[in-house]
Structure 1
């Protein structure tokens, strides 16, 4: 049944200059069923061909239902001070569901039904105006108060990223608002900030995605990039895997995942601490023998074994093929039963690593040495663990680890 609100209670009908900050806060607590402070208050009245008043708030902390699967927004619809519904999905997109407040329309009929609200042209126009209003306020905050905006992003950035993936209309504006972690700074950075810091000759924006920020910062896949002074963006929200599939460029710079395909850093090798590599034909021959031995030992467990350009310290890492699905995205889809089986990965080996060099010497002298088989399987499992995967045969892994340690101790 429709509930009428008298003008005294309808705070949004009063001019902004007559409303105190405390009154706004009290109304926010009432409409949002929350006890935090509003981070942003938006009180506007539209007049002309479309007449409505909105009083909306962005919370300062995450609402408890922010990641509820229903993804319902928190804006209530009124018509001429009469409450109509708090479940008008067309009034606000799901990627702005953290917004709390009310919209009071003068153009909709009082007897409007939920069915009439669906694809309603008045509701559609109000929605467009509300989204533009919210984005405009966020853009102002990002530009004028970056530290304050960074706090907002920590709470609601993952939700806004959903809009990058879902809403092509506002994708460009949302990408410009995007803030993320980086190897170059402890503060959040924008894509524009990244581009400004790009090295001469750098043609792409590099990123790595995963579930844990600490693991990403220490990932083997970014070693050579960091050593070359190239910044890598760190994406640790699940939604990052999806929006990066539709945003492939920014300011004419390609977005490239460091866990997929080849990475050419030949222009930046001289900037690494170790400098340029001195040609070593003998080592190259040994590495070639080791690569062949590892391919034979691992068989169908990997798609290929090759020398890495992205490793400087770690012995091995796993990467996806150039045209393949990103490793983290594939794992997410598998966890959600949207993928039957994982694709085979490429095992990259680091020719500068002491362990790899030792194994390469064995491979050159005795390609059939059983030590190479155990080492290949152990290193593959190690690479899988680093990627956050579960080892399929932990008993065999433990046995190989024990055997390898025993052989090492016998040589002391």
Structure 2
């Protein structure tokens, strides 16, 4: 089916001016080389990406035309047209969307570093199949055309500009591209793909149709191709098409998927639509499709991705849902509908209660948005709760990717704190492995009958947490402790006062009171120990008065000689290190030094008559306690000197 006589796409007679040749940036050259020579695992994705881009261009026209309907230029029949020419070996994709100006063509097609190219290369694995999945996610979908193309031409004109301001961009996938002004009567963009010799089988009616149905059936605008005449042979149909104006037919369903009934949408359609809205080739973990009618009238289709985006921890990065009003596209990345800690959720929301001229500023002031945000947040949390209950393995995979982001929730969303808390997962002394797979509900179910609190320890990493001397009394009594090692953990616990009515207690903070977990005999023995070793406590306090706020007999230790404890009102060590690393000033405070007077080292120390040697030994114990909790010594060299001095004394 030839398109050579189609005047819409025959640009050879156009007079071009202001022609220039430009070079790509280094990263762009690398990307083009990768597309041409490396990514062969799924070549047909080029059509998916180009049709998706064309659909976005049409959506943008619809949005801009809300305030300026002259942009339609008398043509409001929006569509994406796919044509091919077997003899010439070309595929042509045309949209009548917003189009591009010369400057936009140069920016969008010639300078691609801002589209995520650096992160794209950082995420490459060397596995062709996995790497091909990254296309689109990093905004480099257009360049997938070079997987099958020896040359790509782009003809475009921005809606609302004169025909003389058309632009023609050409690239053969090497180091340079050319751009020129040209006459273009119609707005929008046409991409002509000149296929490589061994890729010309893509210029086939049935193959193109099958790819469109596979990847683009869910797109809400028509994707059309020339109608097949089933009454004549294919070659006869080609001849007939050359003699008469071609008749086009819609290949995709062209109905906004979220507007359809859930019973009418297949699982595969949901998955393909996710890839369209997210530019992520991996399948989603789960999704929720819901229609709300009543005080508010809106439809939402929300997805949980299988993997984190490259910029997830950049809180300034674009996030949010695609917003439609009465099925008309309004904006990408409408962040007002979900809180920051759910920024990984993808999908669409379509409201009948918002005006078509809604803006980001208006969204921030509309009370309907707050109601929708509350409802959508609850829906996401319910979706995650259902996943955690019904598919432990999938939820574990989700947690590995997004757990640290979800931990931001209790601080940001007080109303849903308990619901979020049930979704959190931790490592604990119950399993003693680094995998965060234990819920607070699991912990509570295993609590001893007389246990009133949920205990946790926070440290720089899992091994430090697991080996913390603060856990010794808990291990002795068989009491489970949460092992926290994520950077956000101590901050998280600062906003989680309790769970299921049970207070959360940092085992390294304040005086340790195990309540009914201690017997009367144990409590009496603690009091007696403090009195018996009062002189030792006083000597250690004098030796370490510049380093500690208090010295006392420990209740935490059974095997270690000493440990450091944070005051009840003081900032924890993990949070202190985090703020210091961020360059923030933290309030000064001294730790409490707890000693185990029954330990052989303390018994030996108590018998030391030389006060100078006593002070050196006390400082070594203090520094060791600091190291045991993952801290860094202020003067490591002095610690080594003291230790060497003591070792030399022992050798004599």
Q: TM-score, normalised by structure 1?
A: 0.89
Which runs of structure 2 are paired with 1:318-357 in the superposition (5 Å)? 318-357=564-603
Q: Identify which of 390, 397, 403 aligns with 2:639.
A: 397
Q: Shift of residue 303 of structure 1? A: 0.6
The answer to whether the 8 Å contact 1:287/1:357 transfers is: no
The answer to whether the 8 Å contact 1:71/1:97 transfers is: no
The answer to whether the 8 Å contact 1:3/1:83 transfers is: no
Q: Work out the CA distance in 2 between the residues paired with 1:330 and 1:105.
A: 45
CA 1:189/1:41 → structure 2, altered by over 3 Å: closer, same or farther? same
Is 2:428 aligned against 1:194? no
Is 2:472 aligned against 1:223? yes
Residues paired across the two proteins, number: 402
Which runs of structure 2 are paired with 1:58-97 in the superposition (5 Å)? 58-70=304-316, 72-97=318-343
Q: Work out the CA distance in 2 between the residues paired with 1:120 and 1:358.
A: 71
Q: Work out the CA distance in 1 between the residues paired with 2:464 and 2:531.
A: 33
CA 1:282/1:210 → structure 2, altered by over 3 Å: closer, same or farther? closer
CA 1:70/1:257 → structure 2, altered by over 3 Å: closer, same or farther? same
CA 1:190/1:281 → structure 2, altered by over 3 Å: closer, same or farther? closer
* Partner of residue 113, structure 1: 359
Q: Shift of residue 26 of structure 1? A: 2.1
Q: Shift of residue 23 of structure 1? A: 2.4
* Partner of residue 181, structure 2: none
Is 2:625 aligned against 1:376? no
CA RMSD of aligned residues (A): 2.7
Which runs of structure 2 are paired with 1:293-304 in the superposition (5 Å)? 293-304=539-550
Structure 2 unaligned residues grouped into runs of 5+: 1-58, 63-219, 222-252
The answer to whether the 8 Å contact 1:73/1:93 transfers is: no
* Partner of residue 149, structure 1: 395
Q: Shift of residue 268 of structure 1? A: 4.6
Q: Identify which of 483, 493, 497 aligns with 1:248.
A: 497
CA 1:109/1:283 → structure 2, altered by over 3 Å: closer, same or farther? closer
Is 2:457 aligned against 1:208? yes
Q: Identify which of 410, 413, 418 aligns with 1:164.
A: 410
Which runs of structure 2 are paired with 1:224-239 in the superposition (5 Å)? 224-239=473-488
Structure 1 unaligned residues grouped into runs of 5+: none
User: Could you say what secondary structure the match of 1:66 adopts?
Assistant: coil
The answer to whether the 8 Å contact 1:180/1:233 transfers is: yes
The answer to whether the 8 Å contact 1:307/1:351 transfers is: yes
Q: Work out the CA distance in 2 between the residues paired with 1:311 and 1:214.
A: 18
Q: Shift of residue 280 of structure 1? A: 12
CA 1:278/1:299 → structure 2, altered by over 3 Å: closer, same or farther? closer
Q: Work out the CA distance in 2 between the residues paired with 1:340 and 1:279.
A: 38
User: Could you say what secondary structure the match of 1:301 adopts?
Assistant: coil
* Partner of residue 288, structure 2: 42
CA 1:377/1:52 → structure 2, altered by over 3 Å: closer, same or farther? same
* Partner of residue 406, structure 1: 648
Q: Deviations over 1:175-199 (max 9, x none)?
A: 2222222111357222222222112
Q: Work out the CA distance in 2 between the residues paired with 1:50 and 1:258.
A: 47
Q: Deviations over 1:16-63 (max 9, x none)?
A: 333332222222222112222200111222233322222221011222
Greater alpha carbon shift after TM alignment, 4-13 vs 235-244: 4-13
Q: TM-score, normalised by structure 2?
A: 0.57
The answer to whether the 8 Å contact 1:28/1:101 transfers is: yes
Q: Identify which of 4, 16, 40 aligns with 2:262.
A: 16
User: Could you say what secondary structure the match of 1:407 adopts?
Assistant: helix
